[in-house]
């Protein structure tokens, strides 16, 4: 006979304990769920930051427009890509033509140094400066109703790859030789040399003493021929093949097709803005013929001025003392030049002097100048001088716009400077 179990007697004490245990269990489950949710949320936020938020942080703000980490990194990668392609192009010559290749070693060393970790901050700062300028260009172009169509970008691609070149606009014809000038008695009284600048030789701008070659040159942000295949396609099939090959190249370097299209859009937009600002820029302009002596400081300039006042020959002193090596051997002769070529302080002084008059020391970013004007004429510009003067005029306009812009840079960009792409290890010489 089976044993009968006595019925369990549940009293108030047992009920209270069971309710307390159930409540504790629910609290523990709730806490566990909250902890798991918090961990998952933390992981999700980390993934979101690593894949989205981090790249959307601003590295600069220009008049309310942000430049993001993604914009910055893409542009640095493209700059490095250009430098690597230039290096590889030089390297091919270096290997193929040993005698000539030895002359390329300084360029190869310079590019390799430029891409080293030592100069990563230099590249980053240069790229950010350019992105700030690009933002201002976009903003000013928008104010003027200037835009770039997808068709214009496609046409520029064709131009880069050498396809449909018959559709490229023919450059405006420019004079090939400046008109001969008859020197006046006033000029003959002070001139000890003849003007050397013609329409095929634009006057040299005063320059500072050349920088040591160990300092890497700044990478240009403009598209160049070096990233592109060198073969010239004459068929649509050939063009598409080159374009596809280039697309693979830039993707391997971490650069998207959409970035490159936007990059080219920015190049065209700047060209259009330059054209708009210079729409009334004339081929025939008032010019001055001047010579100068460039020295490092005001004290040296005063010594030059005193020697000139005592009757010493200007050309002789320029040859002896001027640090502008582009023209000191010519007695400091700069030839004829229009506005927009020289430093503004230099230019304003030169255009204010009478023929034969010698200036007081003039300070520019290059040093101190003593200037003498030798002639004044209304002359046609050659093509190189015309374009240089247009760019100079645009740059002065742009600098004023930039000076009045609200620009904020954030130091976080130092933490996001890419170090790829880089020169393949088997191609590095140093």
Segment 374-396, tens digit of pLDDT? 999 999 998 889 999 999 999 99
pTM value is 0.73
Reported confidence tier of residue 13, pLDDT bands at 50, 70, 90: low
Tokens, residue 163: 């396809």
Is a pLDDT exceeding 50 seen at residue 200? no
- Across the range 109-122, mean pLDDT stands at 92
Q: Which residues of 393-411 are buried (b: 16+ CB within 10 A; e: fewer)?
A: bbeeebeeeeeeeeeebee
Q: Which of 204-208, 252-256, 303-307 has the lowest mean pLDDT?
A: 204-208
Reported confidence tier of residue 223, pLDDT bands at 50, 70, 90: very low
Q: What is the pLDDT of residue 15?
A: 65
CA atoms within 13 A on the CB side of 376: 13
Average pLDDT, the chain: 83
- Across the range 113-132, mean pLDDT stands at 93
Q: What is the pLDDT of residue 301?
A: 95
- Across the range 164-172, mean pLDDT stands at 62
Tokens, residue 231: 């073969």
Q: What is the pLDDT of residue 217?
A: 37
318: left (phi over 0), alpha (psi -120 to 50) or beta: alpha
More confident residue, 108 or 51: 108
User: In this structure, are residues 98 and 230 in contact, taking their beta carbons and an 8 Å threshold?
Assistant: no
Is a pLDDT exceeding 50 seen at residue 194? no
Closest of 418, 393, 343 to residue 128, by C-alpha: 418
- Across the range 72-89, mean pLDDT stands at 94
The three-state secondary structure class of 291 is: strand
Q: What is the pLDDT of residue 3?
A: 57
Q: Are strands 58-62 and 407-409 parallel, antiparallel or unpaired?
A: antiparallel
């Amino acid at each position: 006979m089976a044993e009968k179990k006595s019925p369990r007697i549940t009293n108030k004490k047992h009920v209270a304990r069971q309710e307390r245990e159930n409540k504790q269990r629910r609290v523990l489950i709730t806490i566990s769920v909250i902890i798991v949710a918090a961990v998952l949320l933390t992981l999700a936020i980390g993934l979101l930051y690593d894949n989205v938020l981090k790249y959307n942080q601003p590295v600069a703000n220009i008049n309310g427009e942000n430049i993001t980490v993604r914009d910055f990194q893409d542009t640095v990668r493209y700059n490095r890509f250009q430098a690597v392609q230039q290096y590889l192009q030089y390297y091919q010559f270096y290997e193929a033509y040993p005698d000539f290749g030895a002359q390329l070693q300084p360029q190869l060393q310079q590019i390799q140094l430029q891409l080293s970790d030592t100069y990563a901050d230099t590249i980053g700062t240069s790229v950010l400066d350019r992105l700030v300028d690009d933002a201002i260009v976009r903003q000013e172009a928008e104010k003027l109703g200037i835009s770039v169509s997808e068709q214009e970008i496609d046409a520029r691609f064709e131009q880069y790859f050498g396809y449909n070149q018959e559709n490229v606009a023919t450059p405006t014809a420019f004079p090939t030789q400046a008109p001969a000038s008859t020197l006046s008695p006033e000029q003959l009284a002070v001139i000890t040399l003849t003007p050397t600048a013609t329409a095929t030789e634009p006057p040299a701008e005063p320059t500072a003493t050349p920088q040591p070659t160990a300092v890497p040159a700044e990478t240009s942000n403009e598209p160049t021929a070096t990233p592109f295949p060198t073969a010239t396609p004459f068929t649509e099939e050939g063009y598409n093949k080159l374009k596809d090959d280039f697309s693979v190249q830039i993707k391997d370097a971490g650069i998207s097709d959409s970035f490159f299209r936007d990059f080219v859009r920015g190049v065209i937009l700047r060209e259009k803005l330059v054209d708009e600002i210079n729409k009334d820029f004339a081929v025939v302009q008032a010019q001055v013929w001047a010579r100068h002596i460039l020295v490092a400081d005001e004290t040296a300039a005063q010594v030059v001025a005193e020697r000139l006042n005592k009757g010493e020959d200007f050309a002789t002193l320029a040859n002896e003392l001027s640090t502008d090596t582009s023209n000191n051997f010519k007695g400091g002769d700069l030839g004829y030049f229009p506005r927009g070529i020289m430093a503004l302080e230099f230019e304003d002084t030169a255009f204010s002097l009478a023929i034969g008059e010698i200036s007081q020391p003039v300070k520019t970013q290059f040093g101190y100048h003593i200037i003498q004007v030798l002639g004044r004429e209304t002359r046609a510009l050659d093509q190189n001088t015309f374009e240089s003067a247009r760019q100079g005029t645009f740059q002065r306009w742009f600098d004023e716009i930039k000076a009045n812009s609200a620009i904020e840079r954030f130091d976080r960009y130092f933490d996001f400077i890419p170090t790829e792409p880089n020169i393949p290890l088997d191609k590095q010489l140093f």
